[in-house]
Structure 1
Amino acid sequence: MTKYNWGIIGTGWIAHEMADALNAVNGEIYAAANPSEADLAKFAQEKGVKHTYTDPEAMINDPQVDVIYIATPHTFHYQYIKDALNAGKHVLCEKAITVNAAQFDEVASLAKAKNLILMEGFTLYHMPIYQKVQDLIKSGKLGDIHMVQVNFGSLKDFDPKNRFFSKDLAGGALLDIGGYATAFARMFLSETPNTVLTSVKFFETGVDEQSGIILKTPHEQMAVMALSLRAKQPKRGVVSGTKGYVEINTYPRATEADVTYTLDAHTEKHEHLSAGKSEEALQYEISDFQKAIDEGHDHGELAVSRDVAHILNSVRTNWGMKYPFE
C-alpha cells in the first residue's frame, strides 16, 4: 500500500480517535490544523503530529498533504471539502458529510471531476461483520428481504451552546445520529427509497429532538427508524426476510450478528456470526480509504452516502425545517 500523508482539521474527540488509528495504521500523522493554538499544540504533542497549522487552508494547500480528514462541526464540512478537492486532496469527512443534498451533489461531482476519493466517515461501511451479513443475504438463507428496523437514541445533557442543540451549527438528532441509522437501512434495501414518511418533535432551540421515519422502495421494501437526542435507545438494527431475520447490536462498530431462521410458524433455528474488533473500527476505515486511493475508486460507499444525504434532505423538507444559513 502506498504511503499517504494525512492532514487533520479539528482536534475534538473523534479527531483524537482518528489520530490514534492513523498512528496504528501508518505509524505517523503528517499534519493537523486548528485555529486554537493551545488545543493544536496539545493535540500535536499527544499524537506525535509532525506539522501544525492554525490556518486550515494553509494545511490544505501544503503540497506534501495527500489526504484531508475533516472533524469539524457539520457547518464547516462543505467549504473544507470543496477547498481540499480543488487543492487536489482526497477527503475523508465525518458525518454528516454535508448539511443538505445540494451540497452533497456538488462535492460528489467535484470529486469525480478531479478523480479524487471522497468518503463519509461511517464506520459501518468498513466493519468486517457487514460482509458476512451481506454474504448471508446473498445466499438466500433469509429469503426475500422485506423490512429493516433501526434505532439510535442518545441522551445528551442540555446545553444550548453545544452543537447538538444549536440550529446555527446544524444540530439535532437527524444529522448527528440519523445518518448512521439511515446508512444502515440503505445498505440492506435493494434500491433507493422513493417514499419518505416522518413525524418529529422539536427541541426548544428549534432542532429536531426525536423523530420516526419510514422509508419505502419502489418494490415496497420498508425501513422504520427511531431517533432521539433525549432518550437513550439501543443501537440496534434488524433485517427481516421471508425465511428469517438478523439482529445487529451497537451497529456503528458492530462485530457480531444474531441470525434467527424462521423455518415455519412455530420453529426457529439460531446462528451467531462474528468478525472484526470494535476498537479497530477507525483502522478499518483508514485502510479501506487508502485502498480506494490505490485502486482509484471506492466500493460504493459514496453512492450510499448520496442516498443518505437525499433521504435526510427529504425528511427535513417534510418537517419544514431549515437551518439559518440555508
Structure 2
Amino acid sequence: MRENLNWAVLGTGVVANEMAASLKKAGKTFYAVGNRTHSKAIDFAEKHGIGKVYDDFHEMFHDENVDIIYITTPHNTHIEFMREALKNGKHLLVEKSITLNSDELDEAIRIADEKQVVLAEAMTIFHMPIYKKLKALIDSGAMGELRMIQMNFGSYKEYDMENRFFNKNLAGGALLDIGVYAISFARWFMSEKPNQVVSQVKYAPTGVDEQAGILMMNEKQEMVTIALTLHSKQPKRGMISCDKGYIELMEYPRGQKAVITYTETGEQEVIEEGRTEDALYYEMLDMEAAVKGNKEVTHLNLTKDVMDIMTEIRREWGLIYPEEEGK
C-alpha cells in the first residue's frame, strides 16, 4: 500500500470542490478527476491543480494508481458506479445518501467484503469531533439515561420541479436529501437500532416527499421525533434529552458547538470541538485511517441501519423511484 494514498473524485459539483480544499489542507494527494462532461473535469483539474483528467470517467475505476474514489454524483447514480469501482478493488467514500435503498447497499457491502476494500458514506455526523465527543459523554453515563432525541431540518426550496430536490427522476425528496442527516444523528446517539418507526408524508406535485414527520423507538425505549421539510425554513437543530440534562446542537449536519443545560440547576455548559468548515477534512482522515486498517471509523453498520429505516419508510409510503420499478 502506498504511504500517500491517491484520491480521485467522480463529479465536479460543490462537494467535489470542498473535497479538493480538504485534501489540500490534509496534505493528501488529489490524483485525478472524472465527469460525464469532459470539459467540466478539465476546468476542475485546472482550478485545483490536478494532473489526471479522464477522457472517459469509467477509466477511473480501472486505473491502478487510484486508491480511493469519492463519488459525489446524484444518489440515484451511485450503485452503478459503486459496482464497477468496488469490483476493481477501489476503496470508496460515497456522498449521502449512499444508495437509494437497502438492496443496493447490501450488494455494495457484499462486493466490498469480497474484494476486501473499504466502503463508507460521507456522513459528517459520523466523523466530526463534536459528535464523537458528545457520544463519548453520553456513553459514559454522565448525563444519565438517554430518553429522547428531537430533530428539525427544514429548507425553503423554490418550487422548481426540474431541480434535484423535487425531481423524481433524480431521486428527489426530503427523506434521502435531508432526512438521512436527521436519522443518522439519531442513530449515532441511540444505543441500538430503532425497532418501531411510524411516519407521515406530504408530497410535492412531482410525487416525491416534500415534508415528513417520523417517530422512532428502540427496545430500550429511547425515542426520536423528526420533522423534515423542503419548502419551509426550520432551524437545523438537534436536541438530546437525558436524565440529568439536555444537549442542543445547531446547524447539526456540520456542527461544532453544543450547549448542555443541566436538569437540577438550569446551568449551561458550552462544548466546542472541531470546525464546521473542516467537515470533509475529518471524513478524509477517517477514510484514510480505515484504508490503513481501522475500518471501525467508517461506521458502515450505522449507515446500514439508517438505510434500512429509510427504505422501510418509503416502502410504507409507496414512494418508488424509476430505478426501483419492477424490482
TM-score by length of 1: 0.96
Q: What is the identity, as a one-letter code, of the residue corresponding to 1:279?
A: E
Counterpart of 2:287? 289
SS of equivalent to 2:199 = strand
Q: What is the identity, as a one-letter code, of the residue corresponding to 2:225?
A: V
- CA separation of 1:204 and 1:54: change in aligned 2, threshold 3 A: farther
Q: How do 1:94-173 and structure 2 match up within 5 A? A: 94-173=95-174
By how many angstroms is 1:278 displaced? 1.1
Structure 1 CA distance for aligned equivalents of residues 298 and 38 of structure 2: 38
Render the CA deviation track for 1:102-157: whole Å, top value 9, x for unaligned.
11111112212221111101111111111221222123221100111111111112
Counterpart of 2:234? 233
- Between stretches 24-33 and 185-194, larger displacement belongs to 24-33
Structure 1 CA distance for aligned equivalents of residues 21 and 100 of structure 2: 27
Q: What is the identity, as a one-letter code, of the residue corresponding to 1:6?
A: W
SS of equivalent to 1:112 = helix
SS of equivalent to 2:267 = strand
Counterpart of 1:80? 81
In the alignment, structure 1 residue 275 sits paired with structure 2 residue 273: yes
Q: How do 1:1-326 and structure 2 match up within 5 A? A: 2-263=3-264, 267-299=265-297, 301-326=299-324
- CA separation of 1:167 and 1:54: change in aligned 2, threshold 3 A: farther
SS of equivalent to 1:257 = strand
Aligned residues of 2:76 and 2:100 also touching (Cα < 8 A): yes
By how many angstroms is 1:54 displaced? 3.6
Count the aligned residue pairs.
323
Render the CA deviation track for 1:225-259: whole Å, top value 9, x for unaligned.
11111111111101111111111111111111100
By how many angstroms is 1:27 displaced? 4.6
Structure 1 CA distance for aligned equivalents of residues 183 and 59 of structure 2: 35
Structure 1 CA distance for aligned equivalents of residues 109 and 85 of structure 2: 13
Structure 2 CA distance for aligned equivalents of residues 138 and 88 of structure 1: 36
Structure 2 CA distance for aligned equivalents of residues 269 and 116 of structure 1: 47
- Between stretches 159-168 and 205-214, larger displacement belongs to 159-168
SS of equivalent to 1:290 = helix
Identity rate, percent: 45
Q: What is the identity, as a one-letter code, of the residue corresponding to 1:40?
A: A
Q: What is the identity, as a one-letter code, of the residue corresponding to 1:125?
A: F
Render the CA deviation track for 1:144-203: whole Å, top value 9, x for unaligned.
001111111111122222111111111011111111111000011111111110000000
- Between stretches 156-165 and 74-83, larger displacement belongs to 156-165
Aligned residues of 2:4 and 2:29 also touching (Cα < 8 A): no
Structure 2 CA distance for aligned equivalents of residues 298 and 81 of structure 1: 20
Aligned residues of 2:126 and 2:132 also touching (Cα < 8 A): no
Q: What is the identity, as a one-letter code, of the residue corresponding to 1:107?
A: A
